Every structure is written in C-alpha cells, then in structure tokens.
Amino acid sequence: MESIKDQRKFLHNDLWKEWESIDRDQKKGIKPPAVQKPYPPEAPIIDLVAVQDLTVGEMPLVEALKRRKSRRDFTQESLTIEELSFLLWSTQGVLGENKKRGALFRPVPSAGARHPFETYLLINRVAGLQAGLYRYLSLEHKLCFLATESELFSRAQDEYWLQKNEAVLFIWTITPYRTEWRYGVLAHKMIAMEAGHICQNLYLACEAIHAGACAIGAFWQKEMDALLDIDGEDEFAIYLARVGKV
Ligand SMILES: Cc1cc2nc3c(=O)[nH]c(=O)nc-3n(C[C@H](O)[C@H](O)[C@H](O)COP(=O)(O)O)c2cc1C
C-alpha cells in the first residue's frame, strides 16, 4: 500500500513550485543534446513518401474520432510504404526546427519542444520492405534498417513480439536526458504524458487509412530493450502499439 502511495506522488505537481531552484543543465549553460539518435553509417536507408505527396489520410477528423477504438484483430493485408509514411509523419514527423534551442516541432506537442522519443518499427507486412527492425529518421523522413528477422530471433530473450500478429509493431523509446536537460527532476511525468499524445495521433491516423491500432503498456522492459539493442538506461522502451489493416 505504501508503494502505491509513493507512485501516486509521481503524478503530483508539487515540485513545480521549486522550478527556480531545480538543478537543470540548461540553467548551467550546457548545450542542448542532439534532437535525434545517430544511426549506424553503414545502415541501409529507405525513402518514405514526403508529406506533400501523400494521397492517403483524407478522412474527416470527426469520422476518424468516431471510429477510433483499440483494434486487436488484423487482416493479413500489408500496409503500403505510403501508408506507413503517413503514420510515421502523423506521430513523429517534423514540422519545424529551432536549431539554436535544439527544439523540434511535430504534429504532437512536447514540453519545451524537447521530444525525447525515437520510433522503432518491427515490420512484418509492409509491401516492398523485408521483415525486420527499422528506425524512423524523422529529420530526414526516412527509415533506417537495423536488423533482419533472423538477427532478431537470435538476440531475443523473449520471442513474444516476433509472432507477426500485426503488420507493424510501433515501439517508442525515450532518451530521458533530452527532457531532463531542461526540466531536471520534473522531466519524467511530462515524458509519460507525451507518449500518450503520440499514440493518440497513431490511433487517429490509422483510422484515417482504414487500419487500426492498439496501445500496449504491458511489455517486459529488459527483454524489449534487448530486442532493440539499446542500453535500457539512457534509452529505453516506454510504449508500444500494434498496427494493422482491419
Ligand atoms: C496507456 C495504455 C496502455 C494500454 N495497454 C494495453 C495493453 O498492454 N494491451 C492491450 O491489449 N491494450 C492496451 N491498451 C488499450 C486499452 O485496453 C483500451 O484503450 C481500452 O480497453 C479501451 O478501449 P478503446 O481503446 O477501444 O476505447 C492500453 C491503453 C492505454 C491508453
């Protein structure tokens, strides 16, 4: 019971009163961290469809809102690259950048425009793409190919997420320091709230292309981080979503 109360405190906003005195790297004049994780120079890069060329996603917002629900049963149909481009842009695309502030503007809000997320994709069924692990390079609006299916099976400590039920599994990781740099100890609740914004955009964008999404908060931390080959400290998975045609 004590631990439930402790966890509740994480949701309180008491510390905001101490904003002026909170220890933060921005206040010390330290330069902002990179807005995007670097990618391996040898990694194959895949072009996506630019937002101005998209022909999908025209459904009126009110219809997408009315249709929205968590979808867990998907057809075997593949997504197209254009549909995937739309989903990635809707969730973490770039609308603008302030290089001096190290700030980005996207279709989702982020406290202080810090955007501490990276988007990984476990792709099972996207026409023209081999199955495997990819990462969205939002600044370039491209995909970076990271691992084949067989590499994933060999590194997996748990094969649950390699079962191919969905066309694509979205996996959002966070690099907490991007937000901690500005907010210090106040960063973490905001990061959790921001994850919800991203997933809601995914739900609506999926409905707009007659696909569906289901948010996933229940996954095993260590095993997911191992699958992504990330350190679990300075970057770790925070939220997933299944996506497929319905
Ligand atoms: C933060 C969060 C975590 C969730 N985690 C899971 C999950 O792990 N597994 C799952 O099947 N659904 C998950 N869901 C989906 C909820 O079960 C779903 O939103 C709820 O049943 C209401 O249904 P609706 O989205 O169709 O309105 C999650 C939803 C949210 C917002």
Minimum CA distance residue for ligand 1 atom 11:
216
Contact yes or no for 173/236 (Cβ under 8 A): yes
Is residue 28 in a domain? no
Minimum CA distance residue for ligand 1 atom 10:
216
215: which strand partners? Answer: 241
pLDDT of residue 2: 72
Q: Which of 214, 224, 240 to mutate to test the pocket of ligand 1 (most atoms within 8 A of CB)?
A: 214
Residue 1: pLDDT band (50, 70, 90) is: low
Residue 221: pLDDT band (50, 70, 90) is: very high
Q: What mean pLDDT value characterizes the chain? A: 96
Is residue 83 in a domain? yes
Question: How remote is the CA of residue 118 from the centroid of ligand 1, in Å?
Answer: 21
Is residue 5 in a domain? no
Q: Domain range for residue 119? A: 45-245
Residue 164: pLDDT band (50, 70, 90) is: confident
Minimum CA distance residue for ligand 1 atom 29:
215
Q: Is the minimum distance from the CB of 217 to ligand 1 under 6 angstroms?
A: yes
Quickly list DSSP for 136-163: EETTTTEEEEEEEHHHHHHH-S--GGGS
Q: Is the minimum distance from the CB of 216 to ligand 1 under 6 angstroms?
A: yes
Is residue 29 in a domain? no
pLDDT tens for residues 43-97? 999 999 999 999 999 999 999 999 999 999 999 999 999 999 999 999 999 999 9
pLDDT of residue 140: 97
Taking CA 156 as the corner, what is the angle to CA 135 and CA 198, rounded to the nearest 5 degrees?
A: 35
What is the tally of structural domains in the chain? 1
Question: How remote is the CA of residue 163 from the centroid of ligand 1, in Å?
Answer: 20
* CA 72 to ligand 1: nearest atom: 11
Question: How remote is the CA of residue 217 from the centroid of ligand 1, in Å?
Answer: 8
Taking CA 70 as the corner, what is the angle to CA 64 and CA 76, rounded to the nearest 5 degrees?
A: 95
Q: Is the minimum distance from the CB of 162 to ligand 1 under 6 angstroms?
A: no
Q: Is the minimum distance from the CB of 222 to ligand 1 under 6 angstroms?
A: no
Statement: residue 102 has pLDDT above 70: yes
Is residue 27 in a domain? no
Q: Looking at residues 87-115, what average pLDDT do you find? A: 95
Coil, strand or helix at 6: helix
From 1-5, 43-47, 189-193, the region with the lowest mean pLDDT: 1-5
Is residue 24 in a domain? no
CATH of the domain at 218: 3.40.109.10
Is residue 21 in a domain? no
Question: How remote is the CA of residue 44 from the centroid of ligand 1, in Å?
Answer: 34
**CA nearest 235: which of 108, 100, 119, 136?**
119
Q: Which of 74, 166, 216 to mutate to test the pocket of ligand 1 (most atoms within 8 A of CB)?
A: 216
pLDDT tens for residues 150-161? 999 999 988 899
Is residue 144 in a domain? yes
**CA nearest 34: which of 234, 192, 188?**
234
